Amino acid sequence: MVTPTPDTTIDAGAEKRFFIEMLTKDIELLPAIVDLLDNSVDGARGLHPDGDLSGQWVKIEFGDGSFTISDNSGGISADIARHYAFRFGRSRDFTGVKRSVGQFGVGMKRAIFKIGRAFAVQSAHRGETGNDDSSRFHLNVDVEQWAIQNEWTFQFDSVDENIALAPDEVAGTTISVTNLHPSVQDDLNDPTIVQALRTELRVRHQESIQSGLQLYLNSDKPLTASRPSLQASDVVQPVFKEFQVTSASGGVVDVRLYAGTVAPPKREKNTDPEDDGQAENFQDPGDAGWYLFCNDRLLLVADRTPLTGWGNPAAAYHPQYRLFRGFVYLSADDASLLPWNTTKTAVDRDSPVFRAVQSEMKTTLYAVQSVINRAKQVRARVEEEDPKPEFLVAMDETPDRPISSLLTSSQMVTPAPPPPKPKAPPTPKVQRIQYVVDPDRFGEVAEALGASSGSEVGRLTFDYFYDQEIG
Amino acid sequence: MARQYEFRPAKAAQRMMIVDACRRLTAIAPLAEYQYVGFGGLEFIDFVEFHRGLGVPQMTSIERDTNMQHRLDFNKPYKSIHVLMGEAHDQLPQIDWTKLSIVWLDYTDLLTTDILRDVDYVVRSTQPGSIVIVTVNGAATKVPVPERLSNLRANLGDLVDDALTDKDMAGWGPTEVERSILQATAHAAGRQAHGLPFRQLFNFHYADDAKMLTWGGITTSTSLGRTIDTCRFEDLHFIRTGDEAFEISVPVLTEKEIAYLETELVGTATSLPQIKGIPSTDVKAFAQVYRWRVGTR
């Protein structure tokens, strides 16, 4: 008799509903939308290795129960769509875009699931030659239905391959999400959330916007981004260090670190920083702190926590540091070397690359704080009638310049603060005594002492008594 | 040469020991490439010792009392000493940290988080191969035992181990807590900034007056670790790389007693000489410090 081989296989498959729920649980709506934008920006950067994104655009529109993001970032080829773009998690053999933001291969799908229960993707991809190597596809997915089917696949509704795109046809991708989750629908109707989204997009992708990307949010006017700037002149030089960090695997991360101060707003130029604590002069910390970019995508915004040195080893944030700004840019061809968490909302603090950068940020913050402290001390001791020291003039009047124009400097350079005036030593306290005596007896005492004047007799007799009886 | 510090014999011996250890840095770089950074005070004693002992040419003193500037300028033993006026945390960033350094943050206060910030900054900023030394009050003098733990917590917050009780606060207990917090801070800063933890070399206890702690060591890096091994710091009997401290006590002896003990001590490793009426603990203490004792023989 042959014993049947027992079935040794145990089912450890994933339930799709559980998978979708877990995937979207830890991301909030705004980071999810920024994540979608990351894909478009990566596409645009892939088209322009020189970094000049002029002519590239991304449009985000929502309302009427739908959410759409479209771009002219080159599109997804049918082949990439079939094998890579819709997989969950990046496949090992997928090379991706150099210096990309996308890294984990979850952003697009997770964002879509977060927003709604049905989506359509339409993409036109222009091949390298443009002749018969281009493609176009369209797919529609009902997430509820997909969740109950066993296969981990989507179906193209239409696909054209080995075609030529018309010269004026936009090569790009449009993703439309419909059947929005009720909470998302509510959020997208809330003006404050839309405002927060606008700020988030503007800030997080400020480098790409600076490089020419046109980013539209429910409007036909592109968003503008501020240009990171620090006070700089012939006499004031912020810190600017450039260095490389080598990861454990041997990959190289290029680091540019800028830190210094921004010009005080006009109205506060002559206010005494000592007034910081007073309610009427309360200063919003606002933009003060560190900004950390990974492949030009902003990860930390105005960070004033111990993560970037505040309170360890530098002083904790105090309003006197409100003019501090630090900008750190990490870039790597291989995005996996960069210290981001999967939602790209924070850094991976355990990353050795981040630790090395963090250490530079900490010592730099400590050093810039010491300049700010000195300014405060000098301000406190300058008398009204004194001419304003060159150091304070520089700190107060030096205008901001874009950091792209700075020269490297390992220290923050300023004019030397005036030395403190040493205080005169305090005059010793004295007690004066005076008394009247018989002139004959005075003469005898003076002769015995060898003294010639009344004051001398007084002092010597006092000393004599002191030495004999007290000292 | 009537210097005030002759009234502080343990501190003086400690200074000579540290200078002696620093001679071994020559395995890393010529000593003339090191700079010395200290809190010279009016007397600049450490500056004289480090210059005489090591030939360190470039020296910077940080002085918080801005009223002393004229006297400092007058008292400087070498014209080239650069004096920075102000609090350490404001002045330390002014130092050129691209040079190898011997830094002695010689506080008289108890250890606080402010001091730890300075230590963290210096460990991060110094080049690997630099010496960082910190002196603080050992938190045990004139503080009744039941108040010591709460005192430490007030100064150092969560850094003080929760498991500690009043029983741990006897004798040098609070000082040991300060030492472990200093080392933990430097360990982390060194690991982050240079890839390898800070290596402790010094853990001195001494009490010329108040109980004091002098802790310190060397910043290292993955590429320098081996070279630092060749300095053979551990050959010096006062080097302490762990919890256990080297306690410096300089016994009070007459010139004649000193001369006799030294004559007998050297070369007789087996048993210590004796003088009637002098406790053997004093003779033992003397044997530990006589080579670094300051004063006439």
pLDDT in tens, B261-271: 988 888 766 78
Distance between first and last Cα of chain B: 15
Of all residues in chain B, the one with the smallest CA distance to A375 is: B90
> What's the sign of the alpha-carbon dihedral A403, A406, A409, A413?
negative
Length of chain B: 297
Of all residues in chain A, the one with the smallest CA distance to B120 is: A313
Could you give the count of Cα atoms lying within 13 Å of A412 in the half-sphere of its Cβ? 30
Q: Do both B214 and B265 map to the same domain?
A: no
pLDDT at B3: 47
Write the single-letter amino acid at A122. Answer: Q
Q: CB–CB of B124 and A363 under 8 A?
A: yes
Q: Is the pLDDT of residue B297 over 50?
A: no
The shortest C-alpha distance from B6 to chain A (Å) reads: 26
pLDDT at A282: 43
The shortest C-alpha distance from A422 to chain B (Å) reads: 5
pLDDT in tens, A178-218: 999 999 999 898 888 888 888 888 888 888 998 999 999 99
CB contact at 8 A, A403 and A207: no
Which residues in chain A have their CB less than 8 angstroms from residue B125's CB? Answer: 363
CB contact at 8 A, B295 and B9: yes
pLDDT in tens, A370-399: 999 999 988 888 877 788 899 999 999 999
Q: CB–CB of B70 and A422 under 8 A?
A: yes
Q: Do both B271 and B210 map to the same domain?
A: no
The pLDDT of B70-77, averaged and rounded, is 90
Judged by phi (left if over 0) then psi (alpha if -120 to 50, else beta), residue B55 lies in: left
> ipTM score of the complex?
0.71
Could you give the count of Cα atoms lying within 13 Å of A471 in the half-sphere of its Cβ? 7
pLDDT in tens, B10-55: 999 999 999 999 999 999 999 999 999 999 888 899 999 999 999 9
The shortest C-alpha distance from B104 to chain A (Å) reads: 18
Q: CB–CB of B117 and A313 under 8 A?
A: yes
In a domain, B29, yes or no: yes
Q: Is the pLDDT of residue A415 over 50?
A: yes
Q: Do both B23 and B169 map to the same domain?
A: yes
pLDDT in tens, A251-293: 899 999 999 999 988 755 455 544 444 433 344 567 899 999 8
Q: Do both B99 and B218 map to the same domain?
A: yes
Which residues in chain A have their CB less than 8 angstroms from residue B82's CB? Answer: none
Q: Do both B116 and B48 map to the same domain?
A: yes
Judged by phi (left if over 0) then psi (alpha if -120 to 50, else beta), residue A105 lies in: left
* DSSP element (H, E) containing B35: strand B34-38
The shortest C-alpha distance from A275 to chain B (Å) reads: 21
In a domain, B297, yes or no: no
Q: Do both B16 and B73 map to the same domain?
A: yes
In a domain, B30, yes or no: yes
Residue among A313, A356, A422 whose CB faces B69 most closely: A422
pLDDT at A274: 47
The pLDDT of B157-173, averaged and rounded, is 89
Q: What does residue B63 show for φ and ψ, rounded to 5 degrees?
A: -130, 125
**Domain A229-405 fold:** Ribosomal Protein S5; domain 2 (3.30.230)
In a domain, B66, yes or no: yes
In a domain, B282, yes or no: yes
The shortest C-alpha distance from A272 to chain B (Å) reads: 20
Q: Do both B205 and B265 map to the same domain?
A: no
Which is more confident, A271 or A47?
A: A47
In a domain, B202, yes or no: yes
Domain boundaries, given as residue ranges, for chain A: 16-217, 229-405, 439-470
A315 has a chain B CB within 8 A of its CB: yes
Write the single-letter amino acid at A234. Answer: D
A409 has a chain B CB within 8 A of its CB: no
Q: Do both B267 and B140 map to the same domain?
A: no
pLDDT at A284: 58
Q: What is the mean pLDDT of chain A?
A: 86
Residue among A315, A359, A410 whose CB faces B124 most closely: A359
Q: For the domain that residue B219 is a member of, what is the CATH number?
A: 3.40.50.150
pLDDT in tens, A126-164: 888 767 889 999 999 999 999 888 888 899 999 999 998
pLDDT at B6: 57
pLDDT in tens, A416-463: 888 777 666 667 788 888 889 999 999 999 999 888 888 889 989 999
pLDDT at A104: 60
Which residues in chain B have their CB less than 8 angstroms from residue A371's CB? Answer: 93
Q: Do both B71 and B50 map to the same domain?
A: yes
* DSSP element (H, E) containing A163: strand A156-163
Tell me the residue range of the domain where B261 lies.
255-292
Which residues in chain A have their CB less than 8 angstroms from residue B67's CB? Answer: 422-423
Tell me, yes or no, if the pTM score tops 0.90. Answer: no
A275: Cβ contacts below 8 Å, ≥ 6 apart: A281
Q: Which CATH architecture best describes the domain A16-217? A: 2-Layer Sandwich (3.30)
CB contact at 8 A, B228 and B218: yes
Length of chain A: 471
Among A345, A71, A74, A94, CA closest to A215: A71
Q: CB–CB of A370 and B192 under 8 A?
A: no
The shortest C-alpha distance from B89 to chain A (Å) reads: 7
Which residues in chain B have their CB less than 8 angstroms from residue A321's CB? Answer: none
Of all residues in chain B, the one with the smallest CA distance to A311 is: B117
Q: Do both B243 and B265 map to the same domain?
A: no
- Domains in chain B, number: 2
